[in-house]
Each structure stands twice: as structure tokens, then as C-alpha cells.
Amino acid sequence: MRGPHNIWRLIRTGATLERTGAMNVVLDAFDAPKPLRILAHALGKPFMWLGYKGDPAMPPATRAITALGPAYIKFGQVLSTRPDVVGDELAVQLRVLQDKLPPFPLDVARAEVEKELGQPLPEMFSEFSEPIAAASIAQVHKARTAETGKEVAVKVLRPGIEKAFRKDIDAFYFAARIVDLFAPGARRLRPMDVIKHFDGVVRGELDLRLESSAASEFAANTKDDPKFVVPDIVWGLSARRVMTLGWADGAPLGDNDAIDAAGHDRVDLSERVLRLFLLHALRDGYFHADMHQGNLKVAPNGDIIAYDFGIMGQIDEYTRRVYAEILYGFIRRDYKRVAEVHFEAGYVPADRDVDEFARALRAVGEPIFGMDATRISMGRLLSYLFEVTERFGMETRTELILLQRTMVVVEGVARSLNPHINIWQVAHPVVEDYIKKSIGPRAILGDLAKTGRVLARYGPRLPGLVEAALIRQAEAQHPPARNVDKRLVLLTALIATTMGAAAGFALALLT
């Protein structure tokens, strides 16, 4: 029975936070008000003995999250990139969630590889190392192919990870249903849709064949991007639970000391990682949606290397144009246009006041410009944005969930490299270039050309489609008697339509 299991799971979540000492850490990080603190402890302390113990060697928050399982770890990974939201101390604690979790044994990994690829391991790899990185869903080994001697990275899913993740997602669905039932004010956020979207993303991450395909497509899209590299996939040594790709040496993007020691310019890196994300999202509509420090390296020559392609984001061309117009409006401080775009796209109900919405957006945007990034509290900014969206009845756009989440993560990565980065200043040239190419005369011609190609493809079928449509219209207006030829109905309708048009034209000439 899922209901009792999910209640039990949520109770153990609170109990684990209490038992590991993470409850106060989390409440302090989010600056929770006193009533919420009292309620949280009242619900957690009586059941504290039911909580997971975790690894006592870890800091409290990391200890609790790792004990709770992979879905919680994913959430912790996002928070680790936002010291402006959770504080520097907690952000540092959570950063070990990215690629420094306890690995599973080497012999288990070797057995998984042999089982999945169907060959003895020595026939495939002449070398196969101990785990060099372990994350929430998989771990990575450095290896050398037996056939070519090429250095590669071999990613192997954790045994039983599918079942463990299913339990977590099940509990999230249960929590979303509770929100739907008992918190009507939060329904506009569509919590069930959000969880369904997250569920679909994670299911894709648990099939490494899909990740291999994503990496291949991403590499093809970005092959001409300067100072950016995607390792190549070794398809013959990849399957559902194993993925093999080219090895890439470099300093982790989260290790500022190593980056400085290698002589890289952190200011340039911070700006480049943000520009690359925007370029991929706007130009290609296909972007790396898990761009935390654990998935990025800096090569000795300064190239940014991306890997771990389990979560990729995709947005259609119309949504990209809307997103770009909103960003560009903020950059130009044209809040009226930003408000109009929200209404045109249907993001805000049509019965709301566009001018009032523009004023609310101005109150969000103006504090950002001309300020040092270290003085901006993203927590307070997000809190105010939530109030604004609630007041104007905006709903969560499920197609933008990954885009919004990744923007938060990438901004956090950029700030970890350069705390004084001006996000809007860096974004301006990328967004402006996209606007020029996608919204203007050239874009209109491109849209017309696409429409022409579609019409040409369906050209042979157009007469039949038009005929069928006219028959349906004629029948709706004058239902034919039984045994009457439909073509006769069509002919009659055409004659009537033509005569009506001719009469109207003649009347217009006379007047």
C-alpha cells in the first residue's frame, strides 16, 4: 500500500533531520521564522528515534541527505551552488554531494559492466581503476580500452538505484497530493505536474543509453563553440547501465585553489560558463540541465569540459523567443514590455492589469542593476517574486522548470568563481544577438520558408483535405438526405459560396 509507505517515508525524513542535527542547520540556512521552527521540532522530535543515523563523520546536513537517498541528494546538489541562499557554510557542506559520495565496491562494478556488456572485462578494458568519483545515481572509473589503448571514463549505475529512486518519487507524489488537497493557494504551482516532470527526467537519467544519445547530440550542437568540449561516446562499450566516454583531464570547476594554481582566469571562466549556458538554451533549445561544479572541468588549455548528460533540457523555438524577450526586457529595464510578453504568452491571466504587473516587475528588477552581486540577496529576491506571481495568478510552466532550475545552478557556479559578477551585463550580448536573429525581418522570412516547406510536403494531399473540409462544412449547414451524393452537396456549397461572394463584390462596387 503506497499511502502508509509514503506517510512513513515523510515521517522518517523529519526524524532523520532531527537525529542527525540537520534540522537546525536547515532552518538557520533559510532563516525560518520562530513559529515554523517550533512546528518543525514538534513534528520531528517525537519520532527522532525513527530517523536514519547516517555517517557520523559527515557534517549534519550532508549526513541527513545522504542517508535519505538519491532524490534528496539531487536537491542538495542544487542548493550547494547557492551560498547566497543557504549560506557559505552549508553550501560547502553540500558540495560533497556532487561527486564525493561513498562508492560501491570495485568487484561489484566490474560484475555490472560484464553483465551489461556481455563480455569478460579484460577483453574490453586493459585497465580498470577503483572508483574516482561517486554521485547519487552512478560512479565513474578510469579505464583503458583493450582494443585501442584509449583512456576512457566508465560510468556505472549503482546497484538497485532504480528501486530506491522509485520510493523517493512515490513519497514526493504523495506530498504533492497533500498540497493539492490541503493548500488550495499553492495549486497554481501545479505540484503534481512538477513531480511528473521531475519523474520523467530522472527516468531518463537511469537509462545510460539515453544519456549517451544526449551527449552525442549535445556534442554535435556545440562542436564549433570556442573553448568548450564534450567528450566523445564509445558506443561499442555503452549500454543501459554502463556508459563509456573519452577521458578528459582538468581541474574541477568547483576547486578555486586548483584553478588559480593552474593560472586560469576565474573572472573569464565565470562569464564564459554563463554565456555558454544561455547560448545553448537560446540558440539550440537543447542545454545541459545539471551544470553544477561536479559536472564541469577546466582543461590545461582553459577549455571548459562538460560531462554527465543524464539531465538535458529542451525548449521549443516559440518558448525560446518568449524567454529571450523577457530577459532582454529586464536587461533594457523595459518592464512594460516584459509585462506585455507575459500576457501575450498566456503566462498571466488576461483579466489582470498589465501596468500594475509592470510596476511589480520593476520592483523586482531595479534593485539588481548597478549593484555588486555580493549585496543582492537572491533568497529575498525569490521570496518577492513568489509574492508577485501569486498576486497575479501566474501558474508554474512545466516546460520551463529545467530552464529555471539550471539558470539558478549556473548563476551559482558563476558566482562561486567570481562573487562580483554582474549577471545581467554578461547575459546582454548573448540575448541581444539571439533577439536580432530570431525576432525581426530575417526571422519572419525563416518562418515563412518553414511554412512553405510544410505546405510543399503536404501539397499532393491539399486538394483532398480541402475537399473533405468543405464537405464537412456543407453537411453541417445542410445535412444531406440519405443516398444523396456527397459530391453533389459539395458542388452546391461551392456554387452558393461563389454566388454569395460575387453578389457581395458587386454590391461593394455599386456602393
SS3 for 28-87, per residue? HHCCCCHHHHHHHHHHHHHHHHHCCCCCCCCCHHHHHHHHHCHHHHHHHHHHCCCHHHHC
How open is the CA angle 334-338-339, to the nearest 5 degrees?
Answer: 115
* 73, 136 contact by CB (below 8 A): yes
- CB neighbours (10 Å) of residue 25? 22
Q: How far is CA 392 from the centre of its chain?
A: 24
What's the pLDDT score for residue 272?
95
DSSP letter, residue 243: E
- Answer yes or no: do 375 and 396 share one domain: yes
141 HSE (CA, 13 A, CB side) = 28
Per the structure block, which three cell numbers stand in for 411? 548563476
Crossing angle for the helix pair 22-29 and 60-68, to the nearest 10 degrees: 110
- CB neighbours (10 Å) of residue 416? 23
What's the pLDDT score for residue 90?
77
Per the structure block, which three cell numbers stand in for 320? 525560446
- Answer yes or no: do 449 and 465 share one domain: no
Annotated catalytic residue, options 180, 290, 308, 316: 290
Give Cβ neighbours of residue 32 (< 8 Å, ≥ 6 apart): 40
What span, in angstroms and rounded, lies between the C-alpha atoms of 312 and 68? 25
- Answer yes or no: do 385 and 485 share one domain: no
Last residue of a domain, one of 97, 130, 145: 97
* 25, 62 contact by CB (below 8 A): no
3-class state of residue 446 by DSSP: helix
Helices and strands, counts by H and E, the chain: 23, 10
- Answer yes or no: do 318 and 422 share one domain: yes
Crossing angle for the helix pair 70-79 and 161-182, to the nearest 10 degrees: 70
Residues forming beta bridges with residue 435, ordered by sequence position: none
Q: How far is CA 503 from the centre of its chain?
A: 58
Residue 207 annotated as catalytic: no
Crossing angle for the helix pair 354-365 and 335-344, to the nearest 10 degrees: 130
Query: If we measure between CA atoms, which residue out of 286, 355, 274 comes closest to residue 317?
Result: 286
- Answer yes or no: do 262 and 276 share one domain: yes
Query: If we measure between CA atoms, which residue out of 290, 295, 298 comes closest to residue 266?
Result: 298
294 part of a folded domain: yes
Provide the domain limits for residue 468.
458-510
226 part of a folded domain: no
139 part of a folded domain: no
pTM for the whole structure:
0.70
What's the pLDDT score for residue 377?
52
29 part of a folded domain: yes
Residues forming beta bridges with residue 233, ordered by sequence position: 245
Residues forming beta bridges with residue 251, ordered by sequence position: 298
172 part of a folded domain: yes
Residues forming beta bridges with residue 134, ordered by sequence position: 100, 139
- Answer yes or no: do 505 and 426 share one domain: no
pLDDT truncated to tens, each residue of the chain (511 aa)? 466 777 777 788 888 988 888 888 877 776 666 766 776 787 678 888 888 888 888 888 888 888 888 778 877 776 665 665 666 677 777 766 756 678 999 999 999 999 999 999 999 999 999 999 888 888 999 999 999 999 999 999 998 888 888 888 888 788 777 766 755 555 555 667 767 776 777 777 789 999 999 999 999 999 999 999 999 999 999 999 999 999 988 998 889 999 999 999 999 999 999 999 989 998 999 999 888 888 899 999 999 999 889 888 888 888 888 878 877 887 788 889 888 988 888 888 888 899 998 998 888 778 766 666 556 555 455 556 656 766 787 765 656 666 776 787 888 888 889 988 877 788 888 888 887 777 666 666 766 777 776 667 666 776 776 777 777 777 676 665 555 555 555 555 555 455 554 544 444 444 4
- Answer yes or no: do 53 and 179 share one domain: no
Last residue of a domain, one of 97, 113, 137: 97
Looking at the 3D structure of the chain, how many domains does it have? 4
* 6, 170 contact by CB (below 8 A): yes
- Answer yes or no: do 285 and 263 share one domain: yes
- CB neighbours (10 Å) of residue 262? 14
- Answer yes or no: do 437 and 462 share one domain: no
- Answer yes or no: do 449 and 477 share one domain: no
- Answer yes or no: do 263 and 329 share one domain: yes
DSSP letter, residue 249: -
Query: If we measure between CA atoms, which residue out of 245, 248, 244, 307 comes closest to residue 117?
Result: 244
129 part of a folded domain: no
206 part of a folded domain: no
The single-letter code of the amino acid at 23 is M
3-class state of residue 101 by DSSP: coil
3-class state of residue 200 by DSSP: helix
Last residue of a domain, one of 456, 481, 501: 456
- Answer yes or no: do 463 and 413 share one domain: no
The single-letter code of the amino acid at 288 is H
What span, in angstroms and rounded, lies between the C-alpha atoms of 46 and 427? 49
